[in-house]
């Protein structure tokens, strides 16, 4: 692992000594008799700020001395100033990267910082870590100055025809760390499709670096594009190489963390949530559960009750991680027991649940909604504790159920709220959902509710007979950026760290 502190630390004592030497040399030069200059060898500079002065050699080769006596002094000062400037820039960029807490944010920072180091305005980072046998990690691409259409065109170029593709497929030991193509269009052996894409996107040169660590190996590649034939100088290559080493280590840590979170959420979903929904005459059920990757406490349940009744529940436990998952599992198991004993009275069910939470989890709160449904009568009695109101979706109406405002469980010394009764018409779907659906929009709550209502009202008539299709349509419209079917999300900005649950019940 790269020690960034040693790379970017400037030794003040060394700089002071160098400046003192410069002053002495300047005084000697001024007082020395005029004579023919003697050829001097390149001075051997000490290591400054953790960078070996001998690497790279071309960047530190001493130019022929000027006839003026102060030339060596000026050379030393300019060289030290250049090192300090480069290290200050590197320190600022690595600090910005260290503050990123998600893979997406880190990728965006890497492509932006790399562009600044190599003097480019467009770039691309391809994250393609090697997956273990028991998991699947999809590849991710993040562009700078490139639209989604541009990224799609770049993907059509054969991997072996592009610099970053060759780095991704390189299996040599040791693997190449970088590849520069100073004139893409001037290559007579350039792949015709690559030439077409380069002309269409308007780039003439590329510089790619590998993102690799000692333990995880190569996890991706970063490439930057130039509008004219060009190559980064040796100094730029050295700096972006140092930055890429740190970026690879940081990305590998974030990948490991998010993979562990996703695995934890998957295990929780398999063990703590229903493996399948019950079949009850007169109603069809569907559920969509999107985990955040942080082990959130959103949950749902559907259980058959005596006399053909059905219990439906959704809820959310405060907090994230293993403790929230454990609390969620205990609440769901307790609610099932209370529902079997007194399910026809949702207020009693939630009151018992609130007492259990207050006694066993005094530092935790939870929202919950429990509905006692009688499909044969198309009748629902429900009660909620600080939870979002259900939404009825049908041919003639799309309305939120008017429920009484109530506090979440565990917030008051004695929870109490009245129940609400509703009668869905044949063909109408009742949507129960968690507030993660609203928070993931990133909008204020009033706008999020309006967005949800508009999404439900826009369900095509051909889909209204399928509760799963209704839930999928609502997810696609409310959360168009990746919360559709089969697309679990990982943490990030704009509420993407929230779990989402939609439980749809279509009454026949």
Kindly report, residue by residue over 82-118, the tens digit of the pLDDT: 888 888 999 999 999 999 988 889 999 999 999 999 9
Note the pLDDT of residue 260: 77
- Predicted pLDDT at 451: 94
Give residue 270's pLDDT band: very low, low, confident or very high (50, 70, 90): low
Task: Please provide the average confidence, as pLDDT, over all residues in the chain.
Answer: 80
User: At how many degrees (to 10) do helices 234-272 and 322-342 cross?
Assistant: 20
Residue 266: per-residue pLDDT: 65
User: Can you tell me whether residue 203 is helix, strand or coil?
Assistant: coil
Q: Which of 16-20, 129-133, 158-162, 376-380 has the lowest mean pLDDT?
A: 16-20
- Tell me the two tokens of residue 468: 């799963």
| Long-range own/partner contacts, residues 397-405 (CB < 8 A, 24 or more apart) | 397/428, 398/453, 398/456, 398/457, 400/449, 400/453
Question: Does the pLDDT at position 487 exceed 80?
Answer: no
Q: Is the pLDDT confidence value at 207 over 70?
A: yes
Given pLDDT bands bounded at 50, 70 and 90, which one contains residue 28?
very low
What pLDDT, on a 0 to 100 scale, did the predictor assign at position 263? 72
Residue 507 has pLDDT above 60, yes or no: yes
Mean pLDDT throughout 167-195? 83
Query: Exposure string (b/e) for 380-405, b if CB count within 10 Å is 16 or more?
Result: bbbbbbbbbbbbbbbeeebeebebee
Of 71, 89, 63, the C-alpha closest to 10 is 89
pLDDT of residue 230: 92
Res 172: pLDDT: 65
Residue with tokens 């559709």: 484
pLDDT, position 411? 80
* Average pLDDT, integer, range 9-13: 41
Phi and psi angles of residue 331, each rounded to the nearest 5 degrees, phi first: -65, -45
Contacts of 70-73 spanning 24+ positions with Cβ under 8 A? 70/26, 70/29, 72/25, 72/29, 72/40, 72/43, 73/22, 73/25, 73/26, 73/29
Q: What's the pLDDT score for residue 410?
A: 81
d(CA 306, CA 367): 26
Give the pLDDT band (50/70/90) at residue 75.
confident
Instruction: Report the pLDDT value the prediction gives residue 461, as an integer from 0 to 100.
Output: 92
Least confident of 6-20, 315-329, 435-449, 466-480: 6-20
What pLDDT does 6 receive? 45
DSSP state of 21: H
**Average pLDDT of the residues in 356-361:** 86
Q: Which of 80-94, 195-209, 258-272 is predicted with the least confidence, judged by mean pLDDT?
A: 258-272
Which single residue is written with the structure tokens 């939470």? 357
Under DSSP, the state recorded for 409 is: B
pLDDT, tens digit, for every residue of 117-156?
Answer: 999 999 999 998 875 544 545 578 899 999 988 988 998 9
Side-by-side strand order, sheet with 500-507: 283-290, 500-507, 429-433, 391-393, 398-400
Quote the CA–CA distance of 315 and 335 in Å, as a whole number: 11
List CB contacts of 340: < 8 A, sequence separation 6 or more: 303, 305
pLDDT tier at 29 (50, 70, 90 boundaries)?
A: very low
Contacts of 484 (CB under 8 A, 6+ apart): 472, 475, 476
| Winning range, highest mean pLDDT, from 37-41, 412-416, 462-466, 497-501 | 462-466
Q: 441 or 79: which carries more pLDDT confidence?
A: 441
- pLDDT tens string 215-225: 888 899 999 99
What is the pLDDT, as a whole number, of residue 406?
81
């Amino acid at each position: 692992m790269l020690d960034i502190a040693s790379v970017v630390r400037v030794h003040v004592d060394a700089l002071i000594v160098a400046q003192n030497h410069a002053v002495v040399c300047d005084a000697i030069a001024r007082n020395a008799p005029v004579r023919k200059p003697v050829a001097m060898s390149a001075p051997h500079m000490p290591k400054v700020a953790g960078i070996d002065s001998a690497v790279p050699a071309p960047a530190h080769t001493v130019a022929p001395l000027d006839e003026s006596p102060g030339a060596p002094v000026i050379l030393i000062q300019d060289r030290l100033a250049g090192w300090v400037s480069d290290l200050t820039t590197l320190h600022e960029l690595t600090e910005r990267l260290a503050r990123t807490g998600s893979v997406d944010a880190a990728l965006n920072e890497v492509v932006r910082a790399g562009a600044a180091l190599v003097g480019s305005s467009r770039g691309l980072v391809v994250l393609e870590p090697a997956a273990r046998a028991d998991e699947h990690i999809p590849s991710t691409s993040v562009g700078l100055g490139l639209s989604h259409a541009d990224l799609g065109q770049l993907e059509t170029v054969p991997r072996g025809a592009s610099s970053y593709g060759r780095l991704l497929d390189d299996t040599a030991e040791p693997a190449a760390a970088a590849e520069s193509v100073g004139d893409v269009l001037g290559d007579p052996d350039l792949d015709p499709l690559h030439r077409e894409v380069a002309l269409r996107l308007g780039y003439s040169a590329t510089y790619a670096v590998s993102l690799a660590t000692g333990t995880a190996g190569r996890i991706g590649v970063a490439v930057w594009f130039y509008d004219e034939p060009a190559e980064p100088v040796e100094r730029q290559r050295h700096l972006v190489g140092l930055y890429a080493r740190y970026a690879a280590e940081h990305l590998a840590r974030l990948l490991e963390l998010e993979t562990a979170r996703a695995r934890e959420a998957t295990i929780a979903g398999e063990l703590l949530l229903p493996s399948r929904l019950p079949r009850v005459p007169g109603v069809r059920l569907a559920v969509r559960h999107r985990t955040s990757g942080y082990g959130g406490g959103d949950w749902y349940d559907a259980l058959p009750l005596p006399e053909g009744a059905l219990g439906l529940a959704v809820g959310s436990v405060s907090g994230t991680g293993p403790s929230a998952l454990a609390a969620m599992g205990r609440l769901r198991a307790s609610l099932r027991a209370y529902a079997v004993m007194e399910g026809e009275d949702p207020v009693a069910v939630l009151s018992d649940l609130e007492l259990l939470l207050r006694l066993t989890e005094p530092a935790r709160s939870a929202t919950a909604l429990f509905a006692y449904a009688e499909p044969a009568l198309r009748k629902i009695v429900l009660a909620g504790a600080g939870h979002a109101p259900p939404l009825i979706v049908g041919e003639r109406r799309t309305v939120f159920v008017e429920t009484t405002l109530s506090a979440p469980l565990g917030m008051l010394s004695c929870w109490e709220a009245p129940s609400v009764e509703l009668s869905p018409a044949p063909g109408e779907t009742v949507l129960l959902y968690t507030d993660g659906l609203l928070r993931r929009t990133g909008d204020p709550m009033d706008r999020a509710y309006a967005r949800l209502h508009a999404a439900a009202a826009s369900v095509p008539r051909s889909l209204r007979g399928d509760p799963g299709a209704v839930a999928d349509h609502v997810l696609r419209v409310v959360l168009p950026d990746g919360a559709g079917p089969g697309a679990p999300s990982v943490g990030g900005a704009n509420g993407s760290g929230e779990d989402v649950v939609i439980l749809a019940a279509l009454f026949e």
